[in-house]
Amino acid sequence: MKNKLFKRLVTIVAFLAMLALSAGNAFAVANSSSVVSPYWQTDSDSYTFVAVSHPSLSGISSEVGVVMTALTENGTTTFGTSAFTVTQNTTHRVFIVATNHSSINSTSITGADAVFITGTTNATSGSLIFTPRSSNPFLSRESATIDGQSLQMTDITALSYWGAVVVSSANSGFAMEFIGDTQDSAFNVLTTTNMTTQAVGIN
């Protein structure tokens, strides 16, 4: 069991290192304000589903803007990008699909919380990068005082991410891994004496 966990950790670290080196400056990732998923895929039969939820944690704005980019395998080009805003106590459903997918499309799945990234008909895979829409995600958008109350930030790492690659014909699939989300997030707290950092996720 420990060997499997160690091998998985080594694989994830190696993939992230490769992604950082191959992406260059075009897709630079700041680990303090971004979330990544090492793998997604889509073709005429399979698609990728991601849910992004706002768990209403203390210190987080009631509206958090997210930009999701689906990088292809070489890490230098995109399958597509979408920007959306997740509001307090809601979940956005994101579907990454090929243009010829028969059952998963914007006609069959509707609602303001449904986001589609639709690309080529060819089988495609790669990695996902989630970045903030806000140019200053760690600055307060709402009123805050210096009496120990936390700032209301648009920090996307305080959101909850989960997803799966789904194979429609086999009615099966596998879960996705997300790195940098609410599991290891932190926010700043302004007090009368200094600024401190506190964890907000499940540690």
Alpha-carbon dihedral angle through residues 16, 19, 20, 22, given to the nearest 10 degrees:
150
Check: CB of residue 168 under 8 Å from CB of residue 103.
yes
**Residue 67 phi, psi dihedral angles, 5° rounding:** -115, 120
Which token pair is 136? Answer: 């200053």
pLDDT at 114: 93
Task: Profile the chain (203 residues) by mean pLDDT over runs of 10 residues.
Answer: 54 49 48 83 92 84 89 83 91 91 84 89 89 67 49 80 92 90 53 51 36
Q: Which residues lie below 8 Å from residue 99, measured CB to CB, with a gap of 6+?
A: 118, 119, 120, 121
Which token pair is 122? Answer: 């060819």
In DSSP terms, which residues pair with 83 in a beta bridge?
A: 67
Alpha-carbon dihedral angle through residues 110, 113, 119, 121, given to the nearest 10 degrees:
-40
pLDDT at 13: 47
Distance of CA 163 to the CA centre of its chain: 10
pLDDT at 146: 47
Q: Say how far apart CA 143 and CA 25 lie, in whole Å.
A: 35
Q: Say how far apart CA 191 and CA 15 lie, in whole Å.
A: 39
pLDDT at 23: 42
Domain boundaries, the chain: 2-139+154-184
pLDDT at 48: 95
Tokens 């589903």, residue located: 49
